[in-house]
A = this chain, B = another copy of it.
Amino acid sequence: MRTELCDKFGIEYPIFGFTPSEHVAAAISRAGGLGVLGCVRFNDPEELEAVLVWMDNNTDGKPYGVDIVMPAKVPTEGTSMDLDAMIPDEHRAFVDRTLNDLGVPPLATGVEHAAGVLGWLHSVARAHVDVALRHPIALIANALGSPPKDVIDQAHERGVPVAALAGAVSHARHHVENGVDIVIAQGYEAGGHTGEIASMVLVPEIVDAVGDDAHVLAAGGIGSGRQVAAALALGAQGVWMGSYWLTCSEYKLGSAAGSDGPSVVQRALLGATSADTVRTRIFSGKPARLLKTKWTDAWSKPDAPSPLPMPLQNILVSDAHRRIADSSDPEVVAMPVGQIVGRMNEIRPVADVMAELVSGFDSAATRIATAAAR
């Protein structure tokens, strides 16, 4: 299973694995793919620096990348305090009432209130870029639109290719005009921020729209070798997988970092079917696919307020996310995940997932070759 992207990046398989966990990202790179570390959780650039040092020491010299979230439109900047003032009382009251109704305990005394995901602010994202470019990264990806032109130029000066997610042909064209090297065609079925065109339609549209100006990865709904083969059939040169790594044994973040066995989030994911997701603006202010839980249900009831625009919505729910993360109820999880969650049914090491991707691809390739030859 090789395409020209393997040569370009010096990787064994054209599998790009996005994850907020450095343990998973490093394991993906060691297993022959390209691990891409999601940086949005690092509000402090020094935290990112420490984790990238760890990556440098744990990837056996294999390449890895980073994902930095830079919104296409520059949002209002300011400290968390300034932004706090823009959140209506009605929204705060709804969040408090809902968490109480769902039996989610308050934050422990003495714990600071969360500042929200400041990584969504341009200033923080640029600090992430500066930190990342001091490491031997192989890719900078942006989950929200094209990165700013000067960031693309800065990456290219260091010889680092830039990737950007696209949910529509118009996004893809815009990326290519801005100098993006790799367009990630992300279908409706994907987790997190996602559009409305499904992969089967979107991937060939974007492949044709960008032509030879960029490479295309398929994202959304991919968790098996059959799906990698389908992505390549549709014209992509590789795949971008995010959700599927969440049930890997290496995935331990936040309060689950020190524990054994599946975390609360992993238990919620293991039990979900492909129908148990919902596309909603409650996580960040932009439409994103989340696991359907009592938390998402509460926001879809008639008495729920409309979600706020990015970045305000995430600041509104950031304490709620921490309270939910600290509680132990798999039915009240706040977690972005794609429809592939229906096939995330056991906790496995990254290396096992990668081995199935390769063998499943080979089986699909044989099936296609047989149909072509008959």
Contacts and interface: CB of A to CB of B under 8 A. Distances in A.
Interface string A193-223: 0001111111011000000000000001110
Interface string A119-156: 00000000000000000000000000000000000000
Contacts of A340: 201
A166 to B, nearest CB: 13
A295 interface: no
Contacts of A14: 371
A123 to B, nearest CB: 33
Number of copies: 2
A274 interface: yes
A371 B365 contact: yes
Nearest to A235: B226
Q: Which of the listed residues A198, A338, A361 has the most CB atoms from chain B within 10 Å of its own CB?
A: A198
B235 A201 contact: no
Contact of A368 (B189, B202, B233, B339): B233
A353 interface: no
Contact of A374 (B2, B233, B362, B366): B2
Q: How large is the interface on A (under 10, 10 to 19, 20 to 34, 35 or more residues)?
A: 35 or more
A205 B342 contact: yes
B339 A1 contact: no
A279 to B, nearest CB: 9
Contact of A198 (B339, B366, B374): B339
A224 interface: yes
B205 A227 contact: no
B200 A227 contact: yes
Contact of A230 (B197, B230, B273, B362): B230
Given A201-B343, A204-B227, 8 more contacts: A189-B198, A198-B221, A199-B200, A204-B226, A205-B343, A229-B230, A235-B367, A361-B371
Q: Which 6 A-B pairs have the closest CB atoms?
A: A200-B221, A2-B374, A229-B233, A189-B198, A365-B372, A198-B198
